[in-house]
Amino acid sequence: MDAVDRLWTRVAEQAPLPLEVLAGAAVVALLVVATPALWRPARTVVTIAHEGAHGLAALATGRRLAGIRLHSDTSGLTVSKGRPTGLGMVLTCAAGYVGPALFGLGAAALLAAGYAVGVLWAVLALLALLMLQIRNLYGLWAVLVTGAGLAAVTAWLPPAGQAAVAAAVTWFLLLAAPRTVLELPGARRRRAAPDSDADQLARLTRLPALLWVGVFLLVDVAALALAVRWLLVP
pLDDT band at residue 215 under the 50/70/90 scheme: very high
- The confidence score (pLDDT) of residue 136 equals 97
Once rounded to an integer, what is the mean pLDDT over residues 44-50?
97
pLDDT band at residue 213 under the 50/70/90 scheme: very high
* 1 pLDDT more than 60: no
Is the whole model's pTM more than 0.85, yes or no? yes
The predicted-structure confidence for 176-192, as pLDDT tens digits, reads as follows 999 999 999 988 777 76
Rounded-to-integer distance, Cα 222 and Cα 224, Å: 5
Q: Using an 8 Å Cβ cutoff, are 122 and 147 in contact?
A: no
- Phi, psi (5° rounding) for residue 78? -115, 125
- The confidence score (pLDDT) of residue 9 equals 55
- The confidence score (pLDDT) of residue 193 equals 66
- The confidence score (pLDDT) of residue 6 equals 56
Domain ranges of the chain: 16-231
HEC secondary structure over 112-179: HHCCHHHHHHHHHHHHHHHHCCECCHHHHHHHHHHHHHHHHHHHHCCHHHHHHHHHHHHHHHHHHHHH
* 225 pLDDT more than 80: yes
Q: Would you give the distance in Å from CA 191 to the centre of its chain?
A: 25
- The confidence score (pLDDT) of residue 10 equals 58
The predicted-structure confidence for 20-44, as pLDDT tens digits, reads as follows 999 999 999 999 999 999 999 999 9
Provide the H-helix boundaries in the chain. Answer: 2-11, 19-34, 36-60, 87-113, 116-131, 137-156, 159-189, 197-205, 209-231
Query: What percent of the chain is modeled with pLDDT above 70?
Result: 92
Q: Could you give the 3-state DSSP secondary structure of residue 106?
A: helix
The predicted-structure confidence for 161-170, as pLDDT tens digits, reads as follows 999 999 999 9
* 4 pLDDT more than 50: no
Q: Among 94-103, 150-159, 187-196, 215-224, which stretch is predicted with the lowest mean pLDDT?
A: 187-196
- The confidence score (pLDDT) of residue 13 equals 58
